Structure 1
Amino acid sequence: MSTPLYQLKAEFFKTLGHPVRIRVLELLSVREHAVAEMLPEVGVEAASLSQQLAVLRKANLVVTRREGSTVHYSLSHPRVAELLRVAREILSGVLEGQAELLADLRATPHP
C-alpha cells in the first residue's frame, strides 16, 4: 500500500521545520554555496550545519557538487526558492493583519 499524499506532504513540511534548514535554503535560493561560506551566515557549529545539510540531502531538497575537497550545495529544484518566497508573502500578510489588530486594540479606550 502506498503512502497517502497528505502524509508525504506532512513529512516534507517537517523537513522544513527547522530554522537552520530554512536559512540554508534561503542562502541557496540566491546561489550555490560551499559549506564554509554558509557557516558564518547560519551561525551554528560545523557539525550542526553538516547534520542539517544531511537532512536536506536525504529529502532531495539540495544537491552537492565536489570541487577538490570543497563541497558546494545548491537547490535541487528552483521551485524550492519559490516556496520560500510564497511562505514569506503569507507571513507578511499574517503579520500585517496582526499589526492592524494591535493598532485597533490600542485605539480602543480601556474599560
Structure 2
Amino acid sequence: MPGMQRPLYQMKADFFKTLGHPVRIRVLELLSERDHAVSEMLAEIGIEAANLSQQLSILRRAGLVAARREGLSVTYELTSPEVAEMLAAARAILTGVVSGQAEALVPPA
C-alpha cells in the first residue's frame, strides 16, 4: 500500500542482505580502520576494479559508505561509527561461537 512504512524487521533483513557479501564486509572492515582510496582497497582486497566499484555502489546506496574525490582519486569513508562497532560485535560473537565449537570437539579427559 502506498504510504505504508515497511516494518523495522523487514528493513533489518534488507540491511543484513546488503552485508551478505564477503567483499562488502572486507571493504567495511578496511574503512573501520581508516578512510581508504579505491586504489588502496584494490591492493588490499585483490579483486577487479569493476567488481569493487559494484560493491562500493551497493554500500553507497545502502548509506553505509560515502565517497569524496581527492584530486584524481576517490576516497571512501564509513558514514557512521556504529558500522565499525557492528563489525566488532560480529567478531566477538563469532569468536565465542568458534571457541564453543572447538570445545565441543575436544574429547573428555
The percent identity for this pair of structures is 66
Tell whether 2:15 aligns with 1:15: no
- Root-mean-square deviation over aligned CA pairs: 1.0
Tell whether 2:48 aligns with 1:33: no
Partner residue of 2:47? 44
**Could you tell me the TM-score, scaled by structure 2's length?**
0.94
Q: Which has the larger radius of gyration?
A: 1
Alignment of 1:85-104 (within 5 A): 85-104=88-107
Gapped regions of structure 1 (runs ≥ 5): none
Pick from 61, 83, 87: which aligns with 1:84? Answer: 87
The amino acid that maps onto 2:76 is Y
Deviation for aligned residue 1:15: 0.4
SS at match of 2:106: helix
SS at match of 1:71: strand
**Could you tell me the TM-score, scaled by structure 1's length?**
0.92
TM-superposition CA deviations, 1:32-79 (whole Å, max 9, x none): 000000002112100000000000000000011111221000000011
The amino acid that maps onto 2:36 is H
2: CA distance, partners of 1:66 / 1:78? 21
The amino acid that maps onto 2:10 is Q
Aligned residues: 106
2: CA distance, partners of 1:6 / 1:74? 27
1: CA distance, partners of 2:76 / 2:14? 22
Gapped regions of structure 2 (runs ≥ 5): none
The amino acid that maps onto 1:38 is M
